[in-house]
Chains A and B, each alone.
Chain A
Amino acid sequence: MNIIVCIKQVPDTAEIKINPETNTLMREGVPSIINPFDLHALEAAVRIKEDLGARVTALTMGPPQAESSLREAISMGADDAVLLSDRAFAGSDTWATSYALAGAIRKLGADIVFCGKQAIDGDTAQVGPETAEFLDIPHVSYVRNIEWIRDNTIRVQRLMDEGYDVVESPLPVLLTVVKELNQPRMPSLKGKMAAKKAQIRMMGKADIEADEDSLGLKGSPTKVKSIFAPETKAGRMMIEGGPEEQVDILIKELRKIKCL
């Protein structure tokens, strides 16, 4: 069985701050990490490999420096790693990203494709299902448990608003996973050695037989028009004084508007 895990290198968004004067992002020194949801996707794949036998390939699309996240994936149990990187991919929105990823997955071949439910920088949760559509395979989102795999069928639990659905799908299938699925392991010493030595396979636009007009910024239907900080609320009241005074004023205000 071949399993592909799609991972994304993202800035640790909890560390990003906004410059209050210019309303712009301060990205200097923000560390890059593997998208946390993708670690659960990788763990799921490695556990299937341990239980049933499989070859696990970590795939990422990004700039050359995303290679470090692939080495990390190998240290956590992936067998192979593929870096899909090309200047032509720059500026891709979810549509163009999924188009390119699907091209690579088609070339590599997979029985199961795992993705995290969403990336913490974009938070769209769209790339998984869009990639499945381009591959013309079924997908199940928000997988919180894998019950069994047999006879070319997989049974999983899909998290819903008010509980969960038990869903069966034929293989090949794409699954997007939530954190409840498992606890990702720490890299092993053996894994770290393997990561150091591993050959990272490179793929570019020529390798995925892509339609040039469907790549990157040019191939992306959505365009970012502007970026801005949210507006300040009118009629705000700052309560001054010592703590006791502040509490008293707040209570008085809340009683005035009949909230207490």
Chain B
Amino acid sequence: MRDGLKLYRRLVAASWRAALQYKFSFLVSIFFNFWLSVTDLLVVLTIVYSTNTVGGWNLAQIGVIYGVVGIGKALFRTFGSELHMFQDYVIRGEYDGILLRPWPSLLVLLSRRFEFFRLGGVLQAGAALLLSLHYLGGPRVLGWKYFYLLLLPLTGTVIIFAISVAIAACAFWFGRIRDLQTLAFYAANYAASYPTSIYPGWMRTLLTLIPVTFVGYIPVKFALGLGGSAWYLVLPWIVAALTWVLSLLLWRAGEAAYQSSGS
């Protein structure tokens, strides 16, 4: 485990150095990514401005969910870009090379490439989270829950990664999974940036099964005093652990079914 982390750090550092070879272009792309992801925020702002509240949540409260989910999404795109592209590994048979290394395959896969410019999105979502928490009164009003919410993107990111591993694993059987990824991952994450309570029942069930609703909505709801029980604060950890176990089992079964490609 410790060895694995050491290797991972080393590979991140190499990729970081490669990105910095073109410093100016790197900074510009972070800047653009920041503003590009601000457009997501504009959509939220527009909706809430025209209706004042959404499902009984005001702008700052939604901003907390948005920030938590947004940080998870952007961290995923930064450090999980190879999962985003995973169908290509399977279709072109490039996964062969991953399996030839004497390390856990997911570690090797995830250390192949990083899209550091997407840290711009992390900055943007982080700013939204901080501003929303500030607007809600900061630590004076929220007390320890302020710090809970600041750390919530951690479990959120872990859940988002686990979901994306499960969906990527489907490529081992079905090859092309872009549609599935778009529907079950990106659309679901987008939907989870709002309070899940605004959606019809079938969609709430879907968002619970996938289980993006535990990334932001469930814990934020209780932490901001909008209902639920203290359980809601622990659930994300349990869900994160369970989702990872299931995802890793699926990944392993997928590897055994991997067909590579003709050469």
Q: Do A and B come from one complex?
A: no
